[in-house]
Structure 1
Amino acid sequence: MSKSDFFSHLTAARVHGLPLPFAVERTQTLDVSTEAPALRDRVCGIRGHHVAPKTIAVVEVQGLRVTSAVDTWCQLSTVLGLDDLIRIGDALVRRRHPFAVMGDLLAAVRRYSGHRGVKLLREALIWIRPGVDSPRETDLRLLLVRAGLPEPEVNGVILNRMGVKLATGDLVYRRYRVLLEYDGGQHRTDEEQYHWDIDRLDNLMEDTWRVIRINKSHLRTRPALVIRKVQTALRAAGWQPDPRLARAQKVPD
């Protein structure tokens, strides 16, 4: 690589630590971009790209020159699908140490107008929410909303009637006192975390919250069960679907 080259696309996404689908996460090909007018020579293991001068922000991460996280997201619109772009977008505006705010994503999509993939970016922008902690939270939220359920609050702080914090809930239906918790591996392998979770969930249930725990197996193999559980809990708390807003999506089996 010359001094004017920088990593971009999938390679930049891996350097930034953005969530990628397994199929492309393992690719060995490096994406390298340049603003130089001459076309890059073909090199085995390198996928070359040319970008117009001063249209891409280049930053240094771990000693490597890479496209900025937001520009990387825009570039990936030509190689990834809608849900992958939503997961990455959620990661950009995540709760802890975000790369950007929603205004940055909107501005980037506007700058990207006229490029291949911009329509997909605009659609992804509709679904992206700030404050998410993991791609699985994104997947769960999309599953529920696309099934016609109300949109939950992302990582909402829950207080008891005395104003004491009980939890930061992954997905919260505050009006109906229904909480969805995504149970990641650390909840089982970390003994201290496990015992803390038990006390926390007990406190929530004592405060009349309905807690539904979801794991990756539910999302991967039993999404219809997840939808039914949440729908049942919401209906028990008084929610009724609005027939005017009923969606035609088929609930996955």
Structure 2
Amino acid sequence: MSKPRSLPVPFGQTVFTVADALRAGIGKERLRRTDLVVPVHGVRAPAGAEVGGVEALSVVLRDGQRFSHTTAAGIWGAPLPRGAGIDDVVHVSSDGTVAMRRRGVVGHRLPTSDVRDTPLGRASSPAQSWFECADLLSAADLVVLGDHMVRRDHALATPDDLAASIVPGARGVRTARAALERIRVGAESAMETRLRLGVVDAGFPEPELNVDVLDGAGTFLGRVDMAWPEYRIALEYDGDQHRDQDTWRRDQRRGNGFTVNGWLVIHATAVDVARPAVLFERLRRAFADRAGRTRRKRSAG
């Protein structure tokens, strides 16, 4: 079989619909050649291109349709639980009377509220997608999602935006309201949020997030993930990025500065988030020790 002739720009460079190709004069036989693949019905893409379901469906969204729920949250870069990723199940909401029906798509009929244009097509806004996810995710997963939306740097929404997105009487409203009470500005990763939730659920005081630690002269020693400044106890989540040699050396130097200034820094990993008993015992001992020191100082005074 002869080599397929080149397609005119932009066909052959990105995903496109069969309807657009036919209108451009590209024949049906050409669209069946092996240099093109069919990511979803009615769509073609260059063979070998990594085309996810969202990108493929973006070219067939009609007026009044948008990516929503976990799909929209994934477009905004939010951390999602396993199996709920941006291309695992694609959610599309329509403001009309008919929901999208396609293989691999969960169609919804929801009125248009807050919709944004993105490089992958129209999508529910960060705050709107957070509330839509309340019908799909657990309260803890929704807190993780919310913490990401309101993070201190490059925030996608504010806590007030999340509160305003809640529709009384809608599905998931109780989960959303429960999660909203626990969302905090300052978490920098999903695991930090899960660690905080576990610590508070275990009965410890709620920590402050991303605390700048200073010495007695006001010199900046470093920022910790979470802390109880009145006890001078800090809790750090160490992800895999802390394992390289340069980061380890910086952490050791910073830790020495904390220690000589009376701070106790406890480190946690993913294992501690999954099985926190040992971590919680360390925290209990730390709080007991610091409380005992405070009592002794008061007695001595």
The TM-score, its normalising length taken from structure 2, stands at 0.74
1:212 to 2:269 alignment? no
Question: Which residue identity does 2:277 align to in structure 1?
Answer: A
Deviation track 1:192-250 (CA, whole Å, cap 9, x = no partner) reads 222211111111111110010100012113x11111111110110007xxxxxxxxxxx
Does the residue aligned with 1:127 lie in a helix, a strand or coil? coil
1:179 to 2:238 alignment? no
Question: Which residue identity does 1:21 align to in structure 2?
Answer: P
Does the residue aligned with 2:98 lie in a helix, a strand or coil? coil
**What is the Cα deviation at residue 50 of structure 1?**
1.2
Q: Does the aligned pair in 1 maintain the 2:93–2:110 contact within 8 Å? A: yes
Q: Larger deviation: 18-27 or 191-200?
A: 18-27
1:75 to 2:132 alignment? yes
Does the residue aligned with 1:123 lie in a helix, a strand or coil? helix
Deviation track 1:9-32 (CA, whole Å, cap 9, x = no partner) reads 111111111111113227533111
1:199 to 2:258 alignment? no
Match of 1:247 in 2: none
Q: How does 1:113-124 map to 2 (within 5 A)?
A: 113-124=168-179
Match of 1:20 in 2: 80
Deviation track 1:22-44 (CA, whole Å, cap 9, x = no partner) reads 132275331111212x3135211
Q: Does the aligned pair in 1 maintain the 2:92–2:106 contact within 8 Å? A: yes
Match of 1:46 in 2: 105
Does the residue aligned with 1:23 lie in a helix, a strand or coil? coil
Does the residue aligned with 1:59 lie in a helix, a strand or coil? strand
Greater helix share, structure number: 1
Q: How does 1:135-174 map to 2 (within 5 A)?
A: 135-174=190-229
Moved over 6 A (4+): none
Return the alpha-carbon distance in structure 2 between the equivalents of residues 40 and 137 of structure 1: 37
Return the alpha-carbon distance in structure 1 between the equivalents of residues 88 and 225 of structure 2: 34
Match of 1:188 in 2: 243
1:97 to 2:154 alignment? yes
Return the alpha-carbon distance in structure 2 between the equivalents of residues 16 and 233 of structure 1: 39
The TM-score, its normalising length taken from structure 1, stands at 0.87
**What is the Cα deviation at residue 47 of structure 1?**
1.2
Return the alpha-carbon distance in structure 2 between the equivalents of residues 211 and 41 of structure 1: 52
Q: Does the aligned pair in 1 maintain the 2:115–2:125 contact within 8 Å? A: yes
Does the residue aligned with 2:291 lie in a helix, a strand or coil? coil
Match of 2:290 in 1: 237
Does the residue aligned with 2:83 lie in a helix, a strand or coil? helix
Matched residues, number: 233
| Residue ranges of structure 2 left out of the alignment (5+ in a row) | 1-60, 293-301
| Residue ranges of structure 1 left out of the alignment (5+ in a row) | 240-253
Higher relative contact order (CA 8 A, sep 6+): 1
Question: Which residue identity does 1:143 align to in structure 2?
Answer: G
Return the alpha-carbon distance in structure 2 between the equivalents of residues 63 and 47 of structure 1: 17
**What is the Cα deviation at residue 140 of structure 1?**
1.2
Question: Which residue identity does 2:136 align to in structure 1?
Answer: V
Match of 1:248 in 2: none
Return the alpha-carbon distance in structure 1 between the equivalents of residues 88 and 243 of structure 2: 33
